[in-house]
Amino acid sequence: MAKTSNLGYPRIGEQREWKKTIEAFWNGNLDKEQFLQKIKEIRLQHLRKQQQAGLDVIPVGDFSLYDHVLDTSVTFGLIPERFTGNHTDSLTTYYEIARGGKNLVASEMTKWYNTNYHYIVPELEGQTPRLVENRALALYLEAKEELGIDGKPVILGPFSFLKLSKGYEAEQFADILSSLIAPYGQLLGELQEAGVKWVQLDEPSLVTTITKEEIGLVKSVYKQLRSQAPDLSIFLQTYFDSVSFYEEVVTFPVNGIGLDFVAGYEENIKQLQNHSFPKDKVLGVGIIDGRNIWKADYKQIVNIVNEIKEIVPSHHIWLQPSCSLLHVPVTIKNEEKLDPTLKAGLAFADEKLQELQDLKEIIDHPDSEHSQQLLKVNEAALKALAQSSWRTEHEQTNDNRITDRAVPFAKRYALQAEKWKLPVLPTTTIGSFPQTAELRKARKSWRLGELSNEEYEALIKEKIQYWVNIQEEIGLDVLVHGEFERTDMVEFFGEKLAGFAFTTNGWVQSYGSRCVKPPVIYGNVEFIEPMTVKETVYAQSLTDRPVKGMLTGPVTILNWSFVRNDLPRKEVAFQIADALIQEVQALEAAGIEMIQVDEPALREGLPLKKENWDDYLQWAVTAFRIATAAVANTTQIHTHMCYSEFGDILPAIHALDADVISIETSRSHGELIQDFEHVGFDKGIGLGVYDIHSPRVPSQEEIEQVIHRALSVLPANLFWVNPDCGLKTRGEAETVAALKNMVQAANKYRCLTPTTI
């Protein structure tokens, strides 16, 4: 009989208890002892839920106080030098690495593979890894002692950990990987000594484009780890795509291998059928989609598992999600406002655990009355959704899309320069300004009907006017209205477009304690009416300086939503783009002729295998151009991207044909600038000159260093100065102080280049 296993569970809690506890600690409302006790209660509750769900194999150690990659760095003593010696309290150091501190720049944060989860990038810089604290063992013992759970510790594997790290040269890779063997071996040896039966080593980098040499190195590492813990059952877990070098990976000296049969189904099943599977290993069949929220198709999954059972016996099969459930909300049970047909077609983390149990029952007892009833109910829910009017009405193909601007960039940029007469090194922000507790409270009251539309709009206008005045006083050249009417940059637009639904508690972790509530694209996307014109036009009426219209781009809306799974993602992206160009034209018609269409998630959707990049980039770029091309030559299109490795897709970014592109570079300590030394870029470019996710205020000198470095590579007449992201999460005082330093830094270099653009 098959077993059921989970790879990881959401940290945040049904009501975001995890987030609230961490932030209470940061704000000084909980002392360390209170904080750790509350966190323990949350952690145990998550384990208890999985235990009650009937899982055969329950993960432990996937829980984190911020980020599991940062946990791995700290486990092995890989703490950047600037954070050492400042505190005896390891928890304070831990959070300073993640968030920064007084005079301490936070470590870089970037996307976890092709998801919207952000991890803290390990900085190796010649350090020697050593086992400082066996966190996996502590959490295993806690689960066993408190709940009687003989859990499966989850640890980021050495190959993927190193691949996700920075601070070394390519030629050092093999030596550094070898240096990880001893501390990893010690960790595994201690787990074995404590009686752990199974340990899950996550190696998602094995699904990326890697070399034959690298596979050889990884196999050698696992041989040596096996010798350190010969009696411990090691489960090598991959996800997010099909495993590379399948024939070699299945020969690794491990006891089980987990494969993704959702994102990597076609290639993984082909490899399994062509090359079989070792008879002495367990196969983790990742068959429940861990990254989307649609109810599983039981009939389809049973057919797939039956295919696999022809190769792998049932008692060697573990039914699993395709990846950690970190990427989906906790439970659907509290969603009382969703349409019943839509709700019946959804499954969050808790429901996915139940799906595993259902599938185990159906697979082990296919002819039982209970199994047949489970199949019948599942089929009816999926059929009702597929036949709903949301998916069958108004679907259309637009054959007349405009994807090219009327004239090339150089010509229209000259026209725009004449129109706007901006100084050299124009200063601006990315879009949002601080959202206070007062504003969030008012928005909640408005949504509950306790505050009238007129009262709410008056408050929004008051905030817009207040911050327009501040921007003028600071000396910014191009202003924004501040986005005070918006909760989230995707949710806001989804609420105003057809085809989107919204949950009440469908939160997922984005980075640290930051949670987002992705919209659900369940039907055909259509423009209904202008979404941003009123607030932007009001802001423009308050100033003689240009005010940018602020939109979220089609690819980001796609990648930051839970997307219907009955259409290709490309087609959904084009539907969103068709809607957004109507908003762009509405802004233009209202006199707003600087319009920023943000695409921070462009790279996030990039396939993990390089051979699949071109197709994605082609349609992603096309979607952006559909949303922006049909405007006048003097209308200046901006875009913004952040917290991803953009250097290797600069040609695609150039192909967007935006007039000004702003890209985060501060948290990566200016590393992207190096890429511009090798790749020419002849569009307007704004490099984020300071990190907005850290509470510290950067000095003018720090910002000057970034500008100086950028101007050594990029022409001054194309360079813009801006923060690296929106300022919604920052406080007013730090926002104003940082922007003043930014403007003063720009003014210093402006004096050295006294021309206009």
* pLDDT per position as a tens digit, 306-360: 999 999 999 999 999 999 999 999 999 999 999 999 999 999 999 999 999 999 9
CATH topology of domain 409-752: TIM Barrel (3.20.20)
The ranges assigned to domains in the chain are 3-389, 409-752
Tokens of 296: 């599983």
pLDDT at 676: 65
For the stretch 127-148, pLDDT in tens is 999 999 999 999 999 999 999 9
Taken as a whole, the chain contains a residue count of 757
Residue 557 has pLDDT above 60, yes or no: yes
Q: Do domains 3-389 and 409-752 have the same CATH topology?
A: yes
Asked if 646 and 603 touch (Cβ cutoff 8 Å), the reply is: yes
In 10 A of CB 650, how many CB atoms?
Answer: 18
Asked if 482 and 467 touch (Cβ cutoff 8 Å), the reply is: yes
**646: pLDDT confidence band, cut at 50, 70 and 90?**
low
Residue 755 has pLDDT above 80, yes or no: no
Residue 619 has pLDDT above 80, yes or no: yes
Closest CA to 273 of 242, 300, 297: 242
Active site residue ranges:
693
Share of the chain above pLDDT 90, in %: 79
Closest CA to 595 of 688, 677, 533: 533
**678: pLDDT confidence band, cut at 50, 70 and 90?**
low
Average model confidence (pLDDT) across the chain: 93
Confirm whether residue 560 is marked as ligand binding: yes
Residue 756 has pLDDT above 50, yes or no: no
Helix-, strand-, coil-residue percentages of the chain, each rounded to 5: 45, 15, 40
Distance (Å, whole) CA 286 – CA 52: 21
pLDDT at 698: 87
Confirm whether residue 391 is marked as ligand binding: no
Strands 118-120 and 109-111: antiparallel
Asked if 691 and 724 touch (Cβ cutoff 8 Å), the reply is: yes
Residue 672 has pLDDT above 90, yes or no: no
pLDDT at 715: 86
Rounded to an integer, the average pLDDT of 698-724 is: 88
Confirm whether residue 323 is marked as ligand binding: no
For the stretch 85-94, pLDDT in tens is 766 679 999 9
Distance (Å, whole) CA 153 – CA 256: 14
Rounded to an integer, the average pLDDT of 680-709 is: 84
Rounded to an integer, the average pLDDT of 592-598 is: 97
Cβ burial 730-750 (10 Å sphere, 16+ → b, else e):
beeebbbebbebbbebbebbb
Residue 651 has pLDDT above 70, yes or no: yes
Residue 622 has pLDDT above 80, yes or no: yes
pLDDT at 674: 64
Distance (Å, whole) CA 491 – CA 487: 7
pLDDT at 730: 87
For the stretch 457-469, pLDDT in tens is 999 999 999 999 9
Distance (Å, whole) CA 596 – CA 551: 6
Confirm whether residue 11 is marked as ligand binding: no
DSSP string, 611-637: GGHHHHHHHHHHHHHHHHSSS-TTSEE
For the stretch 714-729, pLDDT in tens is 888 899 999 988 888 8
Confirm whether residue 604 is marked as ligand binding: yes
Confirm whether residue 18 is marked as ligand binding: yes
**753: pLDDT confidence band, cut at 50, 70 and 90?**
low
Confirm whether residue 363 is marked as ligand binding: no
Confirm whether residue 432 is marked as ligand binding: yes
- 267 φ/ψ angles, rounded to the nearest 5 degrees: -75, -40
For the stretch 68-101, pLDDT in tens is 999 999 999 999 999 987 666 799 999 999 998 8
Q: Give the residue carrying structure tokens 């600071």.
A: 474
Distance (Å, whole) CA 46 – CA 40: 10
Rounded to an integer, the average pLDDT of 241-256 is: 97
Confirm whether residue 605 is marked as ligand binding: no
For the structural domain made of 3-389, what CATH number should be given? Answer: 3.20.20.210
Closest CA to 80 of 165, 198, 6: 165
Residue 670 has pLDDT above 60, yes or no: no
Rounded to an integer, the average pLDDT of 413-418 is: 95
The CA-to-CA distance between both ends of the chain, in Å, stands at: 71
pLDDT at 751: 80
pLDDT at 694: 73
Tokens of 472: 């003028």
Distance (Å, whole) CA 479 – CA 469: 10
pLDDT at 643: 57
Q: Helix 533-541 crosses helix 569-589 at what angle (to 10 degrees)?
A: 30
Distance (Å, whole) CA 619 – CA 640: 18
Confirm whether residue 19 is marked as ligand binding: yes
Confirm whether residue 16 is marked as ligand binding: yes
Asked if 681 and 654 touch (Cβ cutoff 8 Å), the reply is: yes
**687: pLDDT confidence band, cut at 50, 70 and 90?**
confident
pLDDT at 728: 87
pLDDT at 96: 94
Q: What is the arrangement of strands in the sheet containing 256-260, beginning at the earlier edge strand?
A: 3-4, 317-321, 282-288, 256-260, 233-237, 198-202, 152-156, 59-60
Rounded to an integer, the average pLDDT of 602-630 is: 94
Residue 757 has pLDDT above 50, yes or no: no
pLDDT at 329: 98
Q: Is 718 helix (H, G, I), strand (E, B) or coil?
A: helix
Q: How many CA atoms lie within 13 A of 113 on its CB side?
A: 22
Confirm whether residue 515 is marked as ligand binding: yes
Residue 229 has pLDDT above 50, yes or no: yes
Confirm whether residue 514 is marked as ligand binding: yes
For the stretch 485-538, pLDDT in tens is 988 888 899 999 999 999 999 999 999 999 999 999 999 999 999 999 999 999
